[in-house]
Structure 1
Amino acid sequence: MHKKRKLRQYIWCWIFILPTTLFYIGFQGWPILSSIYYSALNWSGISSDKSFVGLSNFKELLSDHWFWNAFANSFKYMLYSVPLLIVLSLFLAVLLNEKTLKMREVYRTLFFLPVITTASIVGIIMLFIWSPTGAINGLMQLFGAKRTVNFLGQASLALPTVAVIGVWKDVGIYMIYWLAALQSVPQDVVEAAKIDGAGKWEEFRYITVPIILPIGGVIILLATINSLKVFDIVQTMTGGGPFFATDVMGTFVYRTAYASSVGMPRLGYASAAAMLFGLCVILIGFILNTLKNLISRKRVD
């Protein structure tokens, strides 16, 4: 009787996770397998004429200047955005975790609103704000600037500008992650530290940071991987320009696979680029996760 009851429980568990499993296979698993197959083809994606070329697409990528430009820009975007995103979101989380702060729920909502706003809408609005006649230049002129700055039209400024906008949009979700981590700090330990004379900085440095460090490793991992997958905000604001200065892997793959501006689309070549970059992201994720586990293990010891 006990075995039958346990069997029924297993069956019901599988029934409940079946829809999620099917959606994952349909929208994640199958596209990944298809991309692996397409990466070995010379195919535009819109014609029936396709031929198997093996690793030729990957060999061509190794000597493709525009691929490596997009590859490097993806990592530049990560280096611009992730440190600022982590520091700013942690600062906001610590600030809004203070119980004495009035209307902290309202502030949390305001900082989270950009997260749920469509990236394309954010990009269009930011185009006007950061334009030479926009609000940012107007504010700079109020403080004495004599020339307008074309933030998105200069190759040296475009990618850092897009990174700042990306940080503004995503900081709310990482603030929530840090707030969840801060809830794991035992209040009795904090109160004991205050009784012993510890100030805010000492409390944060010697109590809060060591406790939230393992969760912080997960947050840094998520921020790094998500920054490398950036596409929508870049595509909306610059399309990879000016002069491919903001061309990241997402825009490179999109342009190669679908955009007619480069001539006949090359879905097979774009799939190879996506697979190669995806392997690099997996490797980075593995390294960061290993470091996180080592730090957590050392902390336990």
Structure 2
Amino acid sequence: MASPSLIAEATATKPAPPRPARPVKRPGQRARERRRNLWIYAFLLPTFVLYGMYTLYPMVASYWYSLVEWNGFTADQTFVGLANYQAVLADPMFWSSVRITLLFLLIVAPLRVFGAFALAILLNSPRLPFTSFFRTAYFLPVVTTTAIVGVVMRFILDPASGPVAAVLQLFGAGPVDLLGSSSTALVTSGVIYVWKFFGITMIYWLAALQTIPRDLFEAARIDGAGAGKIFRHITLPMLIPFLLIISVLTIEDCFHAFDLMQSMTAGGPFFSTEIIEIYIYRFAFAATIPQLGFASAAAVLFGVLVLVVVAAQVWATVVSRRLRARA
């Protein structure tokens, strides 16, 4: 039987190995590193300044403007407290714009997330020829200026002289004003928006697919698994963690459709496509007498709406994961 001293020696914790000594830098080397860091900060400074001037400052200033009555032309700003928020919440057109924004989100987000997922699965296949060409073709609309896309689409969908109307006339169908009818304008705008930004969501899914080791697919094929089983038991489980990230990015992006919607419909016809951003723009810049305080209050409430929607989605995803883990 081992003696207590041997047991004590065996169970005693070994001292941690000494940390390697940091190399001593020469004065000339320190001076070079300081100059290099100064150049790095010098090149980053314009970005910080511009970001602070045109992003951070307007965000902070909007909270103050939402508490005052101001037309933007004079220096007089009358503090009114929460009166602007009360006026916005009492305006039925604001709630109409909220409803239209959420409806637009329900049309666009699922098409972008799940449609891009299906396309990414197809383009990620090594057996598909010309994958680079198709990826570029689908991503090309993303780099196109959004306002130009809106103007071009207005011409294409013009019921009098557009090419869509000409094709319909060849088949004996009457002219259809897809952007001029309140029943079809929002859906048509949503489809164009999906086409415009479909490529960026596809890139997200392609990047997620690249994280799956190829060895898993090869091992599954060696074991006799077919394409369906590989997709169901390997691809989908590995991509579930990315679903939340891609969905949040897509939903947050879908709230910013002002440039495309403004260039195509400007909120019409009969306010049927007036999303919250156009509602804010109408009071801040398009009105004869701007109401920047009122518009800023609407913008703050819009920001709260975005946070609520994203938080609800994150909460639902966490709850579903816990339920699956218990099952």
TM-score between the two structures when normalised by the length of structure 2:
0.83
2:184 aligned with 1:160, yes or no?
A: no
Distance 1:288 1:22 in 2: 34
> 1 CA distance for matches of 2:88 and 2:157?
34
Pick aligned residue for 2:106 from 79, 82, 107: 79
Question: Helix, strand or coil for the counterpart of 1:258?
Answer: helix
Q: Which residue of 2 aligns with 1:205?
A: 232
Distance 1:230 1:18, change over 3 A: same
Candidates 267, 284, 292, aligned match of 2:309: 284
Where do residues 171-210 of structure 1 align in structure 2 (5 Å cutoff)? 171-210=198-237
Tell me which moved more, 154-163 or 93-102: 93-102
- Greater CA drift, 73-82 or 44-53: 44-53
Q: Please report how far the alpha carbon of residue 201 of structure 1 lies from its aligned counterpart in structure 2 after TM superposition.
A: 2.7
Range with bigger deviation, 20-29 or 151-160: 20-29
Q: For residues 86 and 48 of structure 1, what CA distance do their matches in structure 2 show? A: 46
* C-alpha RMSD over aligned residues: 2.6
The counterpart of 2:164, out of the listed 130, 136, 144, is 136
Match of 1:257 in 2: 284
Once the two structures are TM-superposed, the CA of residue 200 in structure 1 deviates from its matched residue by: 2.4
1:146 has 2:187 as partner: no
SS in 2 for 1:155: coil
Query: Residue 221 of structure 1 contacts residue 285 of structure 1 at CA under 8 Å; is this kept in 2?
Result: yes
Superposed displacement of residue 236, structure 1: 0.1
Alpha-carbon distance between aligned partners in 1 of 2:174 and 2:228, rounded to the nearest angstrom: 41
- 2:126 aligns to what SS in structure 1? coil
Aligned position for 1:268: 293
User: Hey, what's the Cα distance between the residues in 2 that align with 1:124 and 1:268?
Assistant: 31
Q: TM-score, normalised by structure 1?
A: 0.89
- Residue 47 of structure 1 aligns with which residue? 74
Q: Secondary structure at the match of 1:136?
A: helix
- Do structure 1's residue 104 and structure 2's residue 131 form an aligned pair? yes
Unaligned 5+ runs, structure 2? 1-20
Identity of aligned residues (%): 40
- Paired with 1:148 and 1:43, the residues of 2 have a C-alpha distance of 46
1:67-125: CA deviation from partner (whole Å, max 9, x where unpaired): 11111111111001011111221122111111122221111111111000000100011
**Equivalent residues of 1:78, 1:228 under 8 A apart:** yes
The worse-fitting range, judged by mean Cα deviation, of 238-247 and 209-218 is 209-218
Q: Which amino acid aligns with 1:274?
A: A
> Which of 126, 129, 146 is matched with 1:119 structurally?
146
Rg larger in structure: 2
Unaligned runs of 5+ in 1: none
SS at match of 2:193: helix
Equivalenced residues, count: 296
CA distance in 2, matches of 1:130, 1:110: 22
How many Å separate the matches in 2 of 1:99 and 1:299? 33
